Structure 1
Amino acid sequence: MELKHIIPNVEKTFGNLEYAGEGNVEQRRVNGRTMILSRSYNLYSDIQRADDIVLVLPPEAGEKHFEVEDKVKLINPRITAEGYNIGARGFTNYILHADDMVKA
């Protein structure tokens, strides 16, 4: 069985989400042109307080321009799991994806 993604209950999992700033832009050069593969953004959560939440959006969502601490809403959010190992130990990164992010 393969885990494709998890659909979170955003309200219970993250509570209120606020924009915290831009993250990274993942790009690749194809036929001499730069293609954007994804953009990431940092979010604040009033439930998940230990770390900022990193949201990955597809290039179709476009570049987002919000003020810091603007309340945001995620369109079609899902979480994927990515495993990796260091030495003999296994670890998991959980990655939050969405189709878009809009002002709440």
Structure 2
Amino acid sequence: MELKHTIPNMEKTFGQLEFAGEGKIEQRRINGKMTILSRSYNLYSNIQRADDIVIILPADAGEKHFEMEDKVKLVNPRITAEGYKIGNRGFTNYIMHADDMVKA
């Protein structure tokens, strides 16, 4: 059985999300032309305070322009897990994806 993704309870897990800036843009050369595959953005959470929340949006969601600390809402959020090892220890990265991000 393969875990494709988990749907988080956004209110309980992250509370209110605020825009914290742009992240990375993933690009790939397709037919000799650089094409954007996805964009990531950093968000603040009033519940998850230790680290910023990184959200990955598909390229078709377009580039997002919000003011710092604007309240935002995610459309169809889901979390995937990616495992890796260092030496004899195993670790997990949790990756948040959404179809879009809009002002709350």
Q: Normalised by the size of structure 2, how large is the TM-score? A: 0.99
C-alpha displacement of 1:36: 0.7
Aligned position for 1:56? 56
Q: Distance in 1 between matches of 2:96 and 2:2?
A: 18
AA aligned opposite 2:15? G
Amino acid at match of 2:28: R
Whole-Å Cα distance in 2 between the matches of residues 54 and 66 of structure 1?
15
Partner in structure 2 of residue 68 of structure 1: 68
CA distance in 2, matches of 1:54, 1:85: 22
Partner Cα separation in structure 1 for residue 60 and residue 75 of structure 2: 13
Deviation at 1:31, TM superposition (A): 1.5
| Distance (whole Å) between structure 2 residues aligned to residue 87 and residue 35 of structure 1 | 35
For 2:44, the equivalent position in structure 1 comes to 44
What is the letter of the counterpart of residue 67 of structure 2? E
Aligned-partner Cα distance in 2 for 1:68–1:55: 15
- Segments of 5+ residues of structure 2 without an aligned counterpart are none
The structural deviation recorded for 1:32 is 1.2
Unmatched tracts of structure 1, length 5 or more: none
Q: Deviations over 1:55-101 (max 9, x none)?
A: 00000100000000000000000000000111111100000000000
CA distance in 2, matches of 1:86, 1:36: 30
Deviations 1:22-44 (A, max 9, x none): 00000001121011111000000
Match of 1:94?
94
Task: Tell me the TM-score normalised to structure 1 length.
Answer: 0.99
SS of 1:11's equivalent in the other structure is helix
**CA–CA distance in 2 between the matches of 1:47 and 1:84?**
27
Distance 2:96 2:13 in 1: 12
